Amino acid sequence: MDEVISSLNIKENGIYVDLTLGRAGHSIEILKKIKEYNSGMLICLDKDKQAITESEPKLKAISNSFVLIKSDFRYISDELKKLNIKKVDGILADLGVSSPQLDQIERGFSYSKNSKLDMRMDLDSNLSAWEIINNWDEEKIRWILYNYGDVKFSSEIAKSIIKNRPVNSSFELNEIIKNTLPAWYLRQKNPSKPIFQAIRIAVNDELNALDDLLKQIPELLNKDGSLAIITFHSKEDFRVKRFFQELNYTDPKLNRLPIQTNKKWRQKIFFPSKKELELNNRSRSAKLRVITKLE
């Protein structure tokens, strides 16, 4: 939290966007800063209707200088155009699943609690984990397991899923996974975690949405504006890291010339502090990457 608020460098008359509202933890602190100046605006997006409903009264208790939008963050430019906003001063995206989503058994995100296979962040979406597990073909399932979760034995697991249909609950899927994998591998780690993660990424099209978002960032930020992204998964982090590197790319030939090349972007990375880990164990795999537009 402290690193996010500091990195956004909230200023007078600034416009800030929280692309992943969740239960408004970050948005509340951003809005408090905006209220101090008595100017500026906060725009909050989330594709989970429940997040919007639960967060609105919390934000209203602080200030009315905010707008709530139910939308996937891949449509940020279109949503800002509806508000006649072309550029903003700060953008935050806290990727992955929010704690309330994980803790609600009926949402089906957890492999450690028995529930219907769902995993939809947007409950208005038609595609659920049940649909993928029970209706997608073997090659498609193998592909998402391998490419989204680096799942070992992805072919064998996909084959077992097809063979054991219908699969209706998380524990049924766990059982199929355990019965498919060799005993020596099961002793090393819980194999369900990367498998459930890969299916969740496919259900919500998370990596493609992230790619769509990143393409829009250079045109959306004002000078001295920052993008702060919290990642939890290596696939997410790789995309963000590569995007940051490409923004600051200079021709290697220029590096050999006796001229100074001015960087257009400044980058910084934060890892969870010891205090953060004590307060929130789920932050252990998190990275906060921040880029600031210099010109």
Does 238 appear as a known binding residue? Answer: no
According to the model, what pLDDT value does residue 96 have?
A: 79
Residues 199 and 258 reside in one and the same domain? no
Containing H/E element for 149?
A: helix 138-149
pLDDT in tens, 186-227: 999 899 999 999 999 999 999 999 999 999 999 999 999 999
Q: What is the mean pLDDT of the chain?
A: 93
The CATH number given to whatever domain includes residue 221 is 3.40.50.150
Q: Are strands 287-293 and 265-270 parallel, antiparallel or unpaired?
A: antiparallel
Segments of the chain assigned E as strands: 15-18, 41-46, 66-70, 88-94, 221-231, 265-270, 287-293
Mark out the alpha helices in 181-286 (DSSP H runs). 183-188, 192-204, 206-220, 234-247, 252-255, 274-279
Residues 89 and 25 reside in one and the same domain? yes
Residues 227 and 176 reside in one and the same domain? no
Kindly report the number of other CB atoms within 10 A of residue 287's CB atom: 18
Does 50 appear as a known binding residue? Answer: no
pLDDT in tens, 130-161: 999 999 999 999 999 999 999 999 999 999 99
Q: Is 120 contained in some domain?
A: yes
Does 46 appear as a known binding residue? Answer: yes
Residues 43 and 109 reside in one and the same domain? no
Containing H/E element for 180?
A: helix 170-180
Q: Is 100 contained in some domain?
A: no
Q: Rounded to two decimals, what is the model's pTM?
A: 0.92
Please enumerate, as own/partner, the contacts of 267-274 that have beta carbons within 8 Å and a separation of 24 or more: 267/291, 267/292, 268/7, 270/3, 270/7
According to the model, what pLDDT value does residue 197 have?
A: 94
Domain boundary among 153, 177, 204: 204
According to the model, what pLDDT value does residue 254 have?
A: 53
129: tokens are 């984990």
Residues 26 and 74 reside in one and the same domain? yes
More confident site: 97 or 255: 97
10 touches 92 (CB < 8 A): no
66 touches 33 (CB < 8 A): no
Domain count for the chain, please give it: 2
210: tokens are 């992230």
Does 101 appear as a known binding residue? Answer: yes
According to the model, what pLDDT value does residue 257 have?
A: 60
Residues 139 and 264 reside in one and the same domain? no
Q: Is 253 contained in some domain?
A: yes
Kindly report the number of other CB atoms within 10 A of residue 5's CB atom: 17
Domain boundary among 158, 183, 204: 204
Does 24 appear as a known binding residue? Answer: yes
**Domain ranges, residue 243:** 1-94+206-293
pLDDT in tens, 79-136: 999 999 999 999 999 997 887 787 788 899 989 999 999 999 999 999 999 999 999 9
Is the pLDDT assigned to residue 253 strictly greater than 90?
A: no
Does 94 appear as a known binding residue? Answer: yes
Segments of 41-130 assigned E as strands: 41-46, 66-70, 88-94
Does 225 appear as a known binding residue? Answer: no
> Looking at residue 169, what DSSP letter applies?
B
Q: How many residues does the chain have?
A: 295
Residues 223 and 180 reside in one and the same domain? no
Contacts of 131 (CB under 8 A, 6+ apart): none
The percent of residues in the chain predicted with pLDDT above 70, rounded, is 96
CA pair distance 81, 150, nearest whole angstrom: 38
Domain boundary among 141, 171, 204: 204
The CATH number given to whatever domain includes residue 116 is 1.10.150.170
According to the model, what pLDDT value does residue 99 have?
A: 77
Q: Is 240 contained in some domain?
A: yes
Residues 215 and 86 reside in one and the same domain? yes
- pLDDT category, 184, cuts 50, 70, 90? very high
According to the model, what pLDDT value does residue 280 have?
A: 83
Residues 129 and 198 reside in one and the same domain? yes
Please enumerate, as own/partner, the contacts of 266-275 that have beta carbons within 8 Å and a separation of 24 or more: 266/291, 266/292, 266/294, 267/291, 267/292, 268/7, 270/3, 270/7
Q: Is 87 contained in some domain?
A: yes
Residues 196 and 211 reside in one and the same domain? no
According to the model, what pLDDT value does residue 156 have?
A: 98
Is the pLDDT assigned to residue 250 strictly greater than 80?
A: no
Q: Are strands 41-46 and 15-18 parallel, antiparallel or unpaired?
A: parallel
Q: Is 99 contained in some domain?
A: no
Is the pLDDT assigned to residue 252 strictly greater than 80?
A: no
According to the model, what pLDDT value does residue 261 have?
A: 57
88 touches 34 (CB < 8 A): no
- pLDDT category, 175, cuts 50, 70, 90? very high
> Looking at residue 62, what DSSP letter applies?
T
SS3 label, residue 16: strand
Q: Is 211 contained in some domain?
A: yes
pLDDT in tens, 10-44: 999 999 999 999 999 999 999 999 999 999 999 99
Residues 130 and 69 reside in one and the same domain? no
Q: Is 89 contained in some domain?
A: yes
Residues 109 and 254 reside in one and the same domain? no
